[in-house]
Amino acid sequence: MQYKLGLIGFPVKHSLSPWIHRHFLNKAELSGEYLTLEIDPKDSFEKALQDIMDSQFDGFNVTVPYKKQIIPFLDELDAAAQEIGAVNTVVQQNGKWIGYNTDGIGYVTSLRHHHPSIFKNNHCNILIIGAGGAARGIFKSLSITGFTRIDIANRTQSSAESIAVSGDSEMNTSILSLEEAEAKLNHYDLIIQTTNVGMKPNVNDTILSLEQIDNTSIVSDIVYQPIKTQFLHDADQSGAAIHYGHTMLLYQARYAFEIWTGKKVPADDMEQPLQSILEGR
């Protein structure tokens, strides 16, 4: 079988997903291709998507700005995508297009890989900064994993509230302003930055000051361009452990690949080469 895979979004020309998935195809000894399918927001999304769906694709990834917009055009959604309200992976099965979201599970797997100790204590205190699609996916996946104390800090508190109400009855969640979170950072064992603040070209920006963190905490940023954001740099300076965003990129891709092909490929040996590519940009 020759797999036909790709990525829809805008812009996607410089995406690292083709590099990742071509490596996965090689590792799994499968043949196929992974194409970037740029859809200009000025064009009709519906028509462009229909053309792709008519072109014998086995599946594709979806990125900004189409993760929500694609939903009405799919036949089914898996539970995570339904709950998160965003899709990053689509597979074609018996003529039906099914949407998944592998961002949250990708994040949690990358965290488990690098910081297994945190999974020994479900009562650890977690802070998620941001309340967009990525935050929702991570909140959901951490909650499925058994964590019960996850606070959310966001500029717009209503978005954080809508994530908090999706938690089950076991979940203990406080909603904080960014200022409130900043003042009580030493309360958290794990702090996860999910906004795009600090992303290239605004590399000096940081969502909040880390002056109050405890040096035993783990600080994570899902931004991976640059690989070491100002936020991670500040955390490192404070003596905290840091967790890089490119590892989430790799593991969300690994789950997507498994959905398309049924093959679980190892991804850990790709972290270093991916880091080198990102550092060279």
67 catalytic? Reply is: yes
What CA–CA distance (Å, rounded) separates 281 from 279? 6
By CB under 6 A, tell whether 156 contacts ligand ATR: yes
Name the minimum Å distance from CB 155 to ligand ATR.
Answer: 3
Say if CB 140 and CB 84 are below 8 A apart: yes
By CB under 6 A, tell whether 88 contacts ligand ATR: no
By CB under 6 A, tell whether 177 contacts ligand ATR: no
- The mark string for 181-220 relative to ligand ATR (x by CB under 6 A, - otherwise) is -------------xxxx---------x-------------
By CB under 6 A, tell whether 92 contacts ligand ATR: no
Name the minimum Å distance from CB 194 to ligand ATR.
Answer: 6
- Of 4, 67, 184, 263, catalytic: 67
What CA–CA distance (Å, rounded) separates 102 from 81? 8
**Polymer length in residues for the chain:** 281
**Which residue of the chain is nearest ligand ATR when measured via CB?**
132
40-48, 153-161, 166-174, 241-249 -> range binding ligand ATR (CB under 6 A): 153-161
Name the minimum Å distance from CB 137 to ligand ATR.
Answer: 8
The structure tokens listed for 57 are 């694709």
By CB under 6 A, tell whether 63 contacts ligand ATR: no
CB nearer to ligand ATR: give 207 or 267. Answer: 207
What CA–CA distance (Å, rounded) separates 84 from 234? 30
Burial of residue 259 (number of CB atoms within 10 Å: 0-12, 13-18, 19+): middle
CB-based contacts of 82: which residues, under 8 Å, 6+ apart? none
Name the minimum Å distance from CB 104 to ligand ATR.
Answer: 11
Name the minimum Å distance from CB 28 to ligand ATR.
Answer: 28
The structure tokens listed for 122 are 């479900």
Of the candidate residues 154, 206, 220, 230, the single one contacting ligand ATR (CB under 6 A) = 154
Q: Which of 186, 242, 241, 188 is nearest to 211 (CA)?
A: 186
CB nearer to ligand ATR: give 201 or 262. Answer: 201
Q: Which of 49, 134, 51 is nearest to 90 (CA)?
A: 49
CB-based contacts of 243: which residues, under 8 Å, 6+ apart? 110, 111, 114, 115, 218, 219, 220, 221
Count of residues that interact with ligand ATR, criterion CB under 6 A: 15
Which residues sit at the interface with ligand ATR, rule CB under 6 A?
130-135, 154-156, 159, 194-197, 207
Active site residues: 67
